């Protein structure tokens, strides 16, 4: 028996030596034990790579499109653009624009662009998108729609169907050039709220007579049935526009709507221009920048 045991031991030892000499197929794990353990498998499962998230919360460049709000209109002087205080791309340190918050002031100066135009409507955004796309930004910030409701009369407002078609066209224009660019879409502000706040200032009402949003601001102190109906009609149209913005944006994996945050923000007199009491002041621009930054950097989009 001893002879047989010695022969068996010798055979096992020879096989083990041969295996080790052939490349060490029997290895030790990090704790010094035999690898891979009780299963006897000699293969380790490779870690699955984490999928790249569709939404990048730290884009490295920003372009803005839209209307007078994004141009900082009436935030610095009467009836003038002031893009340096724009919520989207401005350099003013008191506003801390979306671009500055994302990139830092120095980098934002070279990697952000503002193609918004005072007076622009949604029909104009496609052309702005084309210009923005030429810069190849990683994020495009959109705020448009107020001028579609701010017309000479309620009958002159952009129809909801046309507004949808125009926004879809703007998105298609961008996607033809930049299929992976991210898009932040701000809701249209609550114009009726702005009327109710601004009408307390006599100077502001005088500026309104120059033609600022007549469908909402015309005859500012009149509150009879006809004026109330007119303002309610504008309000309903703005709400419908925001539903369009939300719906179209939801069809694009790289688009985030603000969830109605701009519309729901309770602008007070400190957030309104002290020249026209309707457009955002520097403080108002800063609030818009904060809303945009929260939306862009949130782990999940607004509900």
User: Is residue 167 a contact partner of residue 241, using CB atoms and an 8 Å limit?
Assistant: no
Question: How far is it, in rounded angstroms, from Cα 18 to Cα 107?
Answer: 62
pLDDT one-digit tens code per residue, 43-65: 445 555 555 568 999 999 999 99
Query: Does any domain span residue 46?
Result: no
**Of residues 279 and 35, which shows the higher confidence score?**
279
pLDDT one-digit tens code per residue, 240-255: 999 999 999 999 999 9
Domain harbouring 68, CATH code:
3.40.50.1110
Q: What total number of domains does the chain contain? A: 1
Query: Does any domain span residue 109?
Result: yes
Domain that holds residue 73: 62-297
Residue 6: count of CB within 10 angstroms of its CB: 10
Mean pLDDT, residues 131-148 taken together: 98
Question: How far is it, in rounded angstroms, from Cα 142 to Cα 137?
Answer: 13
The confidence score (pLDDT) of residue 46 equals 54
Long-range contacts of 93-100 (CB under 8 A, 24+ apart): 94/282, 94/286, 95/282, 95/285, 95/286, 95/289, 96/286, 96/289, 97/285, 97/289, 98/62, 98/141, 98/184, 98/289, 98/292, 98/293, 98/296, 99/62, 100/289
The confidence score (pLDDT) of residue 98 equals 98
User: Is residue 59 a contact partner of residue 254, using CB atoms and an 8 Å limit?
Assistant: no
Instruction: Enter the pTM of the model.
Output: 0.83
Question: How far is it, in rounded angstroms, from Cα 202 to Cα 293?
Answer: 34
Query: Does any domain span residue 144?
Result: yes
Query: Does any domain span residue 23?
Result: no
Share of the chain above pLDDT 70, in %: 83
- List of E strands, the chain: 27-28, 34-35, 62-66, 112-114, 139-143, 182-185, 255-257
Question: How far is it, in rounded angstroms, from Cα 14 to Cα 236?
Answer: 88
Query: Does any domain span residue 277?
Result: yes
**Does 3 have pLDDT greater than 50?**
no
Torsion, Cα of 15, 18, 23, 26 (10° steps):
20
**Of residues 167 and 31, which shows the higher confidence score?**
167
The confidence score (pLDDT) of residue 204 equals 87
Mean pLDDT, residues 170-186 taken together: 98
pLDDT one-digit tens code per residue, 187-237: 999 999 999 999 999 988 999 999 999 999 999 999 999 999 999 999 999
Query: Does any domain span residue 83?
Result: yes
Query: Does any domain span residue 120?
Result: yes
**Does 11 have pLDDT greater than 70?**
no
User: Is residue 114 a contact partner of residue 66, using CB atoms and an 8 Å limit?
Assistant: no
Residue with tokens 């055979």: 11
The confidence score (pLDDT) of residue 54 equals 86
Query: Does any domain span residue 31?
Result: no
- Residue 55 has what DSSP assignment? S
């Amino acid at each position: 028996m001893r002879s047989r045991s010695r022969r068996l031991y010798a055979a096992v030892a020879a096989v083990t030596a041969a295996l080790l000499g052939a490349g060490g197929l029997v290895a030790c794990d990090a704790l010094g034990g035999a690898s891979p353990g009780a299963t006897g498998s000699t293969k380790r499962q490779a870690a699955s790579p984490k999928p790249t998230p569709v939404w990048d919360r730290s884009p490295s460049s920003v372009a803005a499109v839209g209307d007078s709000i994004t141009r900082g209109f009436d935030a610095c002087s009467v009836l003038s653009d002031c893009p340096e205080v724009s919520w989207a791309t401005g350099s003013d340190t008191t506003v801390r624009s979306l671009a500055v918050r994302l990139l830092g002031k120095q980098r934002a100066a070279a990697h952000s662009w503002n193609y918004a135009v005072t007076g622009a409507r949604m029909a104009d955004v496609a052309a702005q998108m084309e210009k923005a796309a030429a810069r190849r930004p990683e994020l495009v910030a959109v705020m448009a729609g107020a001028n579609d409701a701010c017309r000479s009369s309620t009958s002159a407002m952009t129809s909801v169907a046309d507004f949808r078609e125009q926004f879809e066209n703007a998105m298609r224009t961008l996607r033809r050039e930049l299929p992976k660019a991210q898009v932040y879409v701000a809701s249209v502000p609550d114009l009726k709220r702005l009327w109710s706040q601004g009408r307390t200032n006599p100077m502001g009402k005088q500026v309104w007579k120059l033609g600022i949003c007549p469908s909402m601001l015309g005859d500012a102190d009149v509150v009879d049935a006809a004026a109330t109906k007119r303002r309610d009609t504008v309000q309903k149209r703005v709400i419908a526009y925001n539903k369009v913005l939300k719906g179209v944006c939801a069809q694009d994996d790289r688009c985030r709507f603000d969830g109605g945050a701009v519309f729901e923000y309770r602008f007070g007199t400190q957030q309104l221009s002290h020249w026209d009491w309707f457009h955002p002041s520097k403080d108002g621009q800063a609030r818009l920048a904060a809303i945009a930054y929260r939306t862009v950097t949130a782990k999940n989009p607004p509900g």
